[in-house]
Amino acid sequence: MSSIRIFSKKKKPIVMVTAYDYVSAKTASEAGINALLVGDSLGMVYAGDKNTIKVSLEQMILHSRYVRNGAPDAFIITDMPFLTYKITPSRAILNAGKMITEGNADAVKVEGGTEICRTVKKLIQADIPVMGHLGLTPQGILKFGKYRKVGKGMDERKYLLRSALDLAAAGVFSIVLESIPEEIGTEITRSINIPTIGIGAGRHTDGQILVWNDVLGFYDRLRPRFSKQYKDLWSDAVKGLAEYKKEIEEGKFPSEKNI
Ligand code: KIV
C-alpha cells in the first residue's frame, strides 16, 4: 500500500508515470512504479485534443476512478484541470474534494507558483494534499502560444526559485518541475525540503515522471526530447491489427480453436 510518505527526500529516486485508465494503471503498478499521476495530458494522449485546455473536472474524476480500479493500492495524484482552481479558493476546495471523494484520488496537482499559494494553503487547510507544478505549465498554452523550455532568462529563474520556496512554505508535499534547465532543477531541489519530480528538468531532481504513452511509444504526435521511449507499442498495435484483418480476409480466423 503506497502512501504520501514515499514523498521524502531519500537517496532512492521516486519513480512516477502518468496513468489514464485501468490498463495504464495496472501495468504501471505491476512494474512497481512508486506513484501515479492522472495527468490532464489525457486530453492529448487519450482524447486526441491538441492541448489540455478542454479537459473537464468530470473527465478527470472518471479517469481517476479507472486508474484506481487498475491500481487499488497506489498513491494516486489527479490533476486539477484548467479553470477549476484559479477562480476562488472555495471553488478550488469543492472541486479538489470531488477528485478525492468521487475520483478516489489521494491528492491533487495544480499548476502555478507564488500567485496560487493562497489557494494552495486553503486546500491544505481543508486536508487535501497538494502537489505543485512549475516550469512549463501546459494549462498556460493560450497565454504563451507554444510549449517551450522555461527559465532561460533571469526573471524566469527568479520566479521559479521564489515560487518553489513559496509553494514549499504553503505546504505542498512535492513539486513537479517540467522543462527547465538542469541547473535550475538542481538549485530548486537543493533549496527546498520536499522532493522535486522532474520531467525535462535534468538529472538531479528527487524523482522523475514521464507520460505512460511516451515511455511505451503509444502516441503518434509528440515525442518530447526529454522523454525516452522504452517500447514501440504503436507499431506493435498497428502490426497486430493488420495481421488480424489479413487472417479474417484469408479465412484463417476464427479457426477451430476459437469456436
Ligand atoms: O498532465 C501531465 O501529464 C503532467 C505531467 C507532464 C507532469 O502534468
The CATH number that applies at residue 133 is: 3.20.20.60
Residue 27 zone, left/alpha/beta (φ > 0; ψ -120 to 50; rest): alpha
Q: Which of 111, 115, 156, 178 is catalytic?
A: 178
Q: Is 124 found in the same domain as 88?
A: yes
Residue 10: the pLDDT is: 82
* Cell output for 32: 512497481
Q: Give 43 Cα–ligand 1 centroid separation in angstroms.
A: 11
Sign of CA dihedral 112, 114, 116, 122: positive
Q: What is the mean pLDDT of residues 207-229?
A: 93
Q: Is 88 found in the same domain as 215?
A: yes
Q: How many CB atoms lie within 10 A of CB 240?
A: 11
Q: Is 170 found in the same domain as 74?
A: yes
Q: Determine the straight-line distance between the first and last CA of the chain, rounded to whole angstroms.
A: 41
Residue 13: the pLDDT is: 97
Look at the block and give the residue holding cell 511505451: 216
Q: How confident is the model at residue 120 (pLDDT cuts 50, 70, 90)?
A: very high
Averaged confidence pLDDT in the chain: 96
In this predicted structure, the answer to whether residue 223 has a pLDDT above a threshold of 90 is no
Distance between CA atoms of residues 180 and 167, nearest Å: 17
In this predicted structure, the answer to whether residue 222 has a pLDDT above a threshold of 80 is no
Q: Is 201 found in the same domain as 245?
A: no
Q: Are 145 and 165 in contact (CB under 8 A)?
A: no
Q: Is 56 found in the same domain as 21?
A: yes
Q: Is 241 found in the same domain as 115?
A: no
SS3 state of residue 199 = strand
Q: What is the mean pLDDT of residues 184-199?
A: 98
Q: Is 118 found in the same domain as 244?
A: no
Q: What is the mean pLDDT of residues 243-253?
A: 98
Q: Is 171 found in the same domain as 58?
A: yes
Q: Is 164 found in the same domain as 151?
A: yes
Q: Is 236 found in the same domain as 218?
A: no
Alpha helices by DSSP H, 52-179 = 57-70, 89-101, 117-125, 141-144, 154-170
In this predicted structure, the answer to whether residue 130 has a pLDDT above a threshold of 80 is yes
Higher pLDDT, 158 or 222: 158
Q: Structurally, how many domains does the chain consist of?
A: 2
In the chain, pLDDT over 70 holds for what percent of residues? Answer: 100
Q: Is 149 found in the same domain as 57?
A: yes
Residue 11: the pLDDT is: 79
Q: How confident is the model at residue 200 (pLDDT cuts 50, 70, 90)?
A: very high
Q: Is 30 a catalytic residue?
A: no
Q: Is 238 found in the same domain as 253?
A: yes
Sign of CA dihedral 94, 36, 60, 71: negative
Cβ partners under 8 Å of residue 4, min gap 6? 75, 106, 107, 129, 173
* Cell output for 171: 505546504
In this predicted structure, the answer to whether residue 19 has a pLDDT above a threshold of 90 is yes
Spell out which residues line ligand 1, taking CB within 6 angstroms: 18, 37, 39-41, 79, 133, 176, 178, 199, 209, 211
In this predicted structure, the answer to whether residue 81 has a pLDDT above a threshold of 80 is yes
Distance between CA atoms of residues 58 and 223, nearest Å: 28
Look at the block and give the residue holding cell 479517469: 63
Nearest residue by C-alpha to atom 1 in ligand 1: 39
- Cα–Cα–Cα angle for 243, 241, 227, nearest 5°? 125
Q: Give 245 Cα–ligand 1 centroid separation in angstroms.
A: 35
Range of 245's domain? 231-259
The verdict on pTM exceeding 0.95 is yes
